[in-house]
Amino acid sequence: MGLEEKLPSGVLLTSVEKLAGWARARSVWPATFGLACCAIELFQTGSPKHDLARFGMEIARNTPRQADLMIVAGRVSQKMAPVLRQIYDQMPGPKWVISMGACASSGGMFNNYAIVQGVDHIVPVDIYLPGCPPRPEMLLDSVLKLHDKIMNTKLGKDRERQIADLEQAKLGIGPLRMTV
Ligand code: SF4
């Protein structure tokens, strides 16, 4: 949006933020992105049984330029990390990230040099979803929590500042080390 940057702050902008948040929360398009076993549960979430379409999310986009949600489903290898970041950078803003499963959030059982010990070292994460693997119901729950977050998301420069702060805070955290 470009309108919100031109509007004065106060009641009017608050209402525009709420309206834009409501519309955005109901039209989130995820990027097609599966990295490991968690992706099987992600695919299952789109099946008729769990019906992701209820939330207007049935269209998984094959190009990041048409997606505003990245669901990192599975462990992220060091080799994949720059690719993941490139896909994230190609997504138009505002955009969101769900880290799905223990491996994506912390490296999980793969505490070694080949696996990134938390995808928040690569991209800013909005929702961390625990589990190995998380069930589709858990992913649906995190989608609903993300909706709440989107509804209360700032617009324009405020959102950019929010992301920059989040990213800086995460990049400042060192990788987990194996203790013996
Ligand atoms: S959290 Fe479990 S299911 Fe998900 S990628 Fe890691 S090992 Fe596979």
pLDDT in tens, 58-71: 788 889 999 999 99
pLDDT of residue 114: 92
Residue 67: per-residue pLDDT: 92
CA nearest to 146, candidates 163, 162, 133, 129? 129
Taking the C-alpha atoms of residue 98 and residue 26, their distance in angstroms, rounded to an integer, is 16
Cα–Cα distance for residue pair 54/59, rounded to 1 Å: 11
Task: Give the pairing type, strands 96-100 and 127-129.
Answer: parallel
pTM greater than 0.85: no
* Mean pLDDT in consecutive groups of 10 residues from the start of the chain, 180 residues: 55 71 87 88 89 84 90 93 93 90 92 91 91 93 91 75 76 59
Taking CA atoms only, the protein residue closest to ligand 1 atom 8 is 37
Q: Is 38 in the pocket of ligand 1 (CB under 6 A)?
A: yes
Give the model's pLDDT for residue 15: 75
pLDDT at 175: 59
DSSP string, 57-105: ----BSSGGG--EEEEES--BTTTHHHHHHHHHHSPSS-EEEEESHHHH
Rounded to 5 degrees, what angle do the CA atoms 89, 174, 103 make?
65
Cα of 64 from ligand 1 centre, angstroms: 23
Q: Does the CB atom of residue 129 touch ligand 1 within 6 A?
A: no
Tell me how far apart the alpha carbons of residues 56 and 28 are, in angstroms, rounded to a whole number: 7
Task: Report the pLDDT value the prediction gives residue 90, as an integer from 0 to 100.
Answer: 94
Task: Report whether residue 75 contacts ligand 1, using a CB cutoff of 6 Å.
Answer: yes
User: Helical H runs in the chain?
Assistant: 3-6, 11-25, 38-45, 81-90, 102-106, 136-151, 156-171
Contact 79, 104 (CB under 8 A): no
